[in-house]
Amino acid sequence: MLKVENLQVIYDNKTLALEDVSLTVGEGEFVGIIGSSGSGKSTLLKCINLLVRPTKGKIYLDHWDLMSLSSKGLREIRREIGFIFQDYNLIDRSTVIDNVLIGRLSYKTPFQSLFRIFSQDDYERAQKALSYVALEEKMYERADQLSGGQKQRVAIAKTLCQRPKVMLADEPVASLDRATAHLIMEYFRRANMKKNITILINLHDVELAKKYCSRIIGLKKGKMVFDGKVGDLTDDVLKRIYA
Amino acid sequence: MLLIFIGYRVEFSLGRMLAGLPGMADLFRRMAHPNFSYMGEVFEKIAETVEIAILSSLTGVMLAIPVALLTSENISPNLYLSKILNAVFAFFRTIPSLIWAAILVSIFSIGKFPGMIALSIIAFLMSLKLFREYIESINENQLNSTRSVGASSLEVLRYCVLPNMMGMAVSVFFIVFETNIRSATVLGLVGAGGIGQIMWRDLNHLRYDNLATIILMLFATILLIDALSFMVRKFLQEYSPKIRSLEHYRKRKILKSMLLPLIFAGLVVGIINSLNITLERMAVGFRQGSQIVFRMLQVDFSYYPRLFEGIFESLMIAVFATVVGGFFAIIFSFFAAYNLAPGKLVSVGMKGLINVMRTFPPIIMAIIFFRGVGPGPLAGALALSIYTTGVLTKMYSEVLENMPENVRDSVLVTGATRLEAYRHGIFPQTFANFVSLLLYRMESNIRNSAILGIIGAGGIGTALTMNINWRNWERVGLLLLGVSIMIILIDRLSNYLRHKVK
């Protein structure tokens, strides 16, 4: 369903971030992307929903060619692709439920969104998403009152409200302690199993990747050096990725 | 050495100060009998002053919100537009409020309307800077996280930038308001409405009893407003409504998003009405204004000797006030900081004293010094020194109070007295903070010294008001340009030094 062909990204006309990366991801896969910092993991994910525009290459989601979409078409396709950041990026002064409602924005007309008209249905969906990550009782609190793990759960709820086909997560647990990291990873696993959402996740912790992902992609200096099942991820391969 | 030179430049003379003492004492004696029957008129004028300050702060903040969205470089629709606008606004920001008022009085004639506009401009420029700094501090990922749900750029503004800005707008309003209430008290000196008008009149008529009434009431008003603004801010910070159900919350939100634009529109209508602007007056003002601006642009460079003379005097007044203020602040802070002062009572008393010192705009203080040392740069320099001492002591004593206790204790355990601990442990420890505060004061003093001349207390302001009154707009153009360049240079220099100290 997701296909990336010969992707190349050059920042500021000089820094080569990605070089000739191609991959195909099927529906319902749980893909972990590993590699040392600066290997192009973030850039790859950000290309998939075009937060970063590739200098060369093609990206397809189902039958859509993302690079040739109008800005309206791009907004519609972004609805299908949820994105989770390492630093949560919630709106601090807004309440938790208002943050989750942002996930419903792409279902609104410009008039509705300008005057902040969310329907009963939107609110119920937001509430359901929050109960999915077990944060219903924090619904009316301000986002900056939450702990890091709770903030990331709110971000997941927001993304689920979009009803995405694909979820991209850029180091979602890198700033969390181990126990919380596992808790968050469990939410990704459940979204993958129960809702059949395809997941691409950047992780610097190889153990976490081995435990939760079914397929691993290894990046090194912008090039893809490994693509295979978790079982094939031998120490030799790891050495090649991180050396 | 330096101080002696600067002292000479501001015509410092102990003899004159001593000779002036009886005059000052006489002034205070006469001021000790305020004329309470005068309170009615004063009250009316104070109400007008407060009205000007509130309305202009509101106008400025409301205008700044949309413009900030346009000029912030990370979200601006056009980078070049925002760069040009920012340069223009940076230039305007160097022009003091009283100068704006003086020029606007020439355009719209005497009354509170030009005062309103002048303070609105100041409020606008101040809040624009605060908003812009905030928006530019939003990191790219925060914007991206809203973009990635499929939001348009308008929705990113509405849901990502605006919620934080609205919360900030309240505190920005109060910061601007507390500055504007002080500026509003002196607007009358150039005929732009408010309490300053009758204050100026009473001074010229030597009615010190009336003046005392004004100053007392002004002091009470400013204290009241500071306290009020503190309470409102605290309330808003801690306010969290009880929500009963999802439906309840949804209805509240709908009500809020309908009500806010209505309140906004209501305020705009209210402000416009209160000014009783007529189209005719606006048209006349616009015609005169464009003529004045056109003439200012034809800068008269041959006037430069007076410009350099004035700027040099202003600079000297500012440096004198900063040095003297800095010296006293070091001493006073020790007694004002509650964790260092020899007793609680000393600290409270000292805090009271510095609050009095910093409540009055320096220009009012200068008027009081006229009685003692006569008009001229010395009166201005002394007034600004007192103000600087007050503000700097407040800020530096807060630094001392926020310092971790073990810094102080680590010196105290050696058997040193509190004063020795301050001199040898705490002061060196916080020296960088002190210098940084001192440099901020220097920047502010430069701006203040530029307006002291309006009442004849020396510096570039004298030349400015004279030429504004005589409508020599070509010369005003040169003076404004000079003042701006000087202020921008000093800001740059102090910025550089601040980084160096850290």
One domain for residues A145 and A184: no
Residue B1 has what pLDDT?
56
Least confident of A30-34, B9-13, B175-179: B9-13
One domain for residues A184 and A218: yes
Label residue A215 by pLDDT band (50, 70, 90).
very high
Of residues B146, B150, B254, nearest to A79 (C-beta): B150
**How far does the CA of residue A75 sit from the closest CA of chain B (Å)?**
4
Residue B18 pLDDT > 70 = no
Boundary of a domain, candidates A163, A197, A224 = A163
Mean pLDDT of the region B246-261: 87
Of residues B146, B158, B246, nearest to A114 (C-beta): B158
Least confident of A28-42, A87-101, B316-330, B338-352: B338-352
**How far does the CA of residue B57 sit from the closest CA of chain A (Å)?**
23
Residue that wins the pLDDT comparison between B155 and B368? B155
Q: Which of residues 134-193 of B touch A (CB under 8 A)?
A: 139, 141-142, 144-152, 154-155, 158-160, 163-164, 166-167
CA pair distance A16, A4, nearest whole angstrom: 18
Residue B56 has what pLDDT?
93
Residue A10 neighbours by CB under 8 Å, 6+ apart: A16, A17, A55
For β-strands A81-84 and A198-202, DSSP reports them as unpaired
In chain A, what residues touch B151 (CB-CB under 8 Å)? Answer: 75, 102, 105-106, 113
Mean pLDDT of the region B10-17: 63
Inter-chain CB proximity B148 and A49 less than 8 Å: yes
Mean pLDDT of the region B177-195: 87
Placement of tokens 């040095």 in the chain: B323
B86-109: pLDDT as tens digits: 999 999 998 888 899 989 988 888
User: Which DSSP symbol is given to B453?
Assistant: G
Give chain B's domains with CATH numbers.
33-239 (1.10.3720.10), 298-502 (1.10.3720.10)
CB of B263 within 8 Å of any CB in chain A?
no
Among chain B residues, the shortest Cα distance to A115 is held by B257
CB of B77 within 8 Å of any CB in chain A?
no
Helices (H), B402-472: 405-412, 418-421, 427-429, 431-452, 460-469
Inter-chain CB proximity B249 and A123 less than 8 Å: yes
One-character DSSP codes across B353-394: HHHHHHHS-HHHHHHHHHHHH-SSHHHHHHHHHHHHHHHHHH
Q: Are B476 and B299 in contact (CB under 8 A)?
A: no
Q: What are phi and psi of A226, to 5 degrees?
A: -150, 140
A44-62: pLDDT as tens digits: 999 998 999 999 999 999 9
Q: Which domain holds residue A188?
A: 1-80+164-243
CB of B262 within 8 Å of any CB in chain A?
no
Residue A148 neighbours by CB under 8 Å, 6+ apart: A88, A175, A176, A180
Q: Are B325 and B385 in contact (CB under 8 A)?
A: yes
Residue B406 has what pLDDT?
79
Inter-chain CB proximity B258 and A97 less than 8 Å: no
Label residue B236 by pLDDT band (50, 70, 90).
confident
Residue A27 has what pLDDT?
94
Residue B14 has what pLDDT?
62
One domain for residues A174 and A75: yes
Inter-chain CB proximity B158 and A124 less than 8 Å: no
CATH of the domain at A210: 3.40.50.300
B439-493: pLDDT as tens digits: 989 988 988 898 888 888 888 888 888 898 888 899 999 999 999 999 889 888 8
One domain for residues A63 and A18: yes
**How far does the CA of residue A14 sit from the closest CA of chain B (Å)?**
21
Residue B210 pLDDT > 90 = no
One domain for residues A233 and A174: yes
CA pair distance B204, B184, nearest whole angstrom: 20
Domain count, chain A: 2
Q: Are A162 and B150 in contact (CB under 8 A)?
A: yes
Mean pLDDT of the region A70-79: 90
Q: Which of B173, B199, B202, B203 is nearest to B186 (CA)?
A: B199
Q: Are B108 and B114 in contact (CB under 8 A)?
A: yes
Q: Are B261 and B65 in contact (CB under 8 A)?
A: no
Mean pLDDT of the region B343-349: 89
Inter-chain CB proximity B154 and A103 less than 8 Å: no
In chain B, what residues touch A98 (CB-CB under 8 Å)? Answer: 163, 253
Beta bridge partners of B173: none
Q: Are B313 and B373 in contact (CB under 8 A)?
A: no
Counted residue by residue, chain A has a size of 243
- How many CA atoms within 13 Å lie on the side-chain side of A214? 12
For β-strands A223-229 and A215-220, DSSP reports them as antiparallel
Placement of tokens 């910025």 in the chain: B495
Q: Which of B143, B145, B240 to mutate to test the interface with A (most CBs of A within 10 A)?
A: B145
**How far does the CA of residue B29 sit from the closest CA of chain A (Å)?**
54
Q: Which of A61, A66, A102 to mutate to test the interface with B (most CBs of B within 10 A)?
A: A102
In chain B, what residues touch A125 (CB-CB under 8 Å)? Answer: none
Residue B3 has what pLDDT?
61
Residue B17 pLDDT > 70 = no
CB of B66 within 8 Å of any CB in chain A?
no
Q: Are A168 and A48 in contact (CB under 8 A)?
A: yes
Boundary of a domain, candidates A143, A163, A183 = A163
Least confident of A57-71, B87-101, B159-173: B159-173
In chain A, what residues touch B147 (CB-CB under 8 Å)? Answer: 51, 78
Of residues B150, B154, B167, nearest to A106 (C-beta): B150
One domain for residues A71 and A4: yes
Inter-chain CB proximity A106 and B146 less than 8 Å: no
B256-304: pLDDT as tens digits: 888 888 998 898 888 888 776 777 878 888 888 899 889 988 888 888 8
Placement of tokens 């309206």 in the chain: A72
**What are the distances in angstroms from CA B6 to CA B68, B312, B321, B378?**
41, 11, 10, 11
Q: Which of A81, A91, A154 to mutate to test the interface with B (most CBs of B within 10 A)?
A: A91
CA pair distance A4, A17, nearest whole angstrom: 15
Q: Which of A92, A140, A160 to mutate to test the interface with B (most CBs of B within 10 A)?
A: A140
One domain for residues A76 and A122: no
One-character DSSP codes across B265-330: HHHHHHHHHHTT--HHHHHHHHHHHHHHHHHHHS--GGGHHHHHHHHHHHHHHHHHHHHHHHHHHH
Please calculate the CA angle B225-B227-B228 and round it to the nearest 5 degrees.
60
Among chain B residues, the shortest Cα distance to A141 is held by B240
Inter-chain CB proximity B149 and A85 less than 8 Å: no
**How far does the CA of residue A224 sit from the closest CA of chain B (Å)?**
25
Residue that wins the pLDDT comparison between B88 and B359? B88
One-character DSSP codes across B107-139: HH-SSHHHHHHHHHHHHHHHHHHHHHHHHHHS-
One domain for residues A231 and A208: yes
Inter-chain CB proximity B148 and A110 less than 8 Å: no
User: Which DSSP symbol is given to B501?
Assistant: H
Q: Which of B139, B148, B252, B253 to mutate to test the interface with A (most CBs of A within 10 A)?
A: B148
In chain A, what residues touch B254 (CB-CB under 8 Å)? Answer: 116-117
Residue A151 has what pLDDT?
96
Q: Which of B137, B138, B144, B149 to mutate to test the interface with A (most CBs of A within 10 A)?
A: B149
Return the percentage of chain B with pLDDT > 90, whole number: 21
Residue A199 has what pLDDT?
96
Mean pLDDT of the region B391-418: 84
**How far does the CA of residue A180 sit from the closest CA of chain B (Å)?**
22
Q: Is the dihedral of CA B358, B360, B366, B370 positive or negative?
A: negative
One domain for residues A185 and A149: no
Inter-chain CB proximity B151 and A82 less than 8 Å: no
One domain for residues A181 and A234: yes
Mean pLDDT of the region A111-123: 90
In chain B, what residues touch A123 (CB-CB under 8 Å)? Answer: 246-247, 249-250
Label residue B168 by pLDDT band (50, 70, 90).
confident
Inter-chain CB proximity A113 and B155 less than 8 Å: yes
Residue that wins the pLDDT comparison between B497 and A189? A189
Q: Are B399 and B437 in contact (CB under 8 A)?
A: yes
One domain for residues A72 and A168: yes
B176-185: pLDDT as tens digits: 998 898 889 8
CB of A98 within 8 Å of any CB in chain B?
yes
Inter-chain CB proximity B152 and A98 less than 8 Å: no
Winning range, highest mean pLDDT, from B86-90, B342-346, B404-408, B412-416: B86-90
Question: What mean pLDDT is reported for chain B?
Answer: 86
Mean pLDDT of the region A164-182: 94
Residue A114 pLDDT > 90 = no
Q: What are phi and psi of A32, to 5 degrees?
A: -100, 135
CB of A127 within 8 Å of any CB in chain B?
yes
Q: Which of residues 217-256 of B touch A (CB under 8 A)?
A: 240, 243, 246-247, 249-250, 253-254
One-character DSSP codes across chain A: -EEEEEEEEEETTTEEEEEEEEEEE-TT-EEEEE--TTSSHHHHHHHHTTSS--SEEEEEETTEEGGG--HHHHHHHHHTEEEE-TT----TTSBHHHHHHGGGGGGS-HHHHHTT---HHHHHHHHHHHHHTT-GGGTTSBGGGS-HHHHHHHHHHHHHHT--SEEEEESTTTTS-HHHHHHHHHHHHHHHHHS--EEEEE-S-HHHHHHH-SEEEEEETTEEEEEEEGGG--HHHHHHHH-
Residue B30 pLDDT > 80 = no
Buried b (16+ CB within 10 A) or exposed e, B103-141: bbbbbbeeebbbbbbbbbbbbbbbbbbbbbebbeebeeb
Label residue B8 by pLDDT band (50, 70, 90).
low
Q: Which uninterrupted H or E stretch holds B196?
A: helix B196-204
Placement of tokens 């309240």 in the chain: B170
Q: Are B307 and B301 in contact (CB under 8 A)?
A: no
Return the percentage of chain B with pLDDT > 70, whole number: 95
CA pair distance A118, B356, nearest whole angstrom: 52
One domain for residues A74 and A170: yes
Of residues A75, A91, A115, nearest to B152 (C-beta): A75
Boundary of a domain, candidates A163, A184, A217 = A163
Radius of gyration over every alpha carbon of chain B, rounded to an integer in angstroms? 25
Question: What mean pLDDT is reported for chain A?
Answer: 92
CA pair distance A96, A99, nearest whole angstrom: 5
One-character DSSP codes across B207-221: -HHHHHHHHHHHHHH
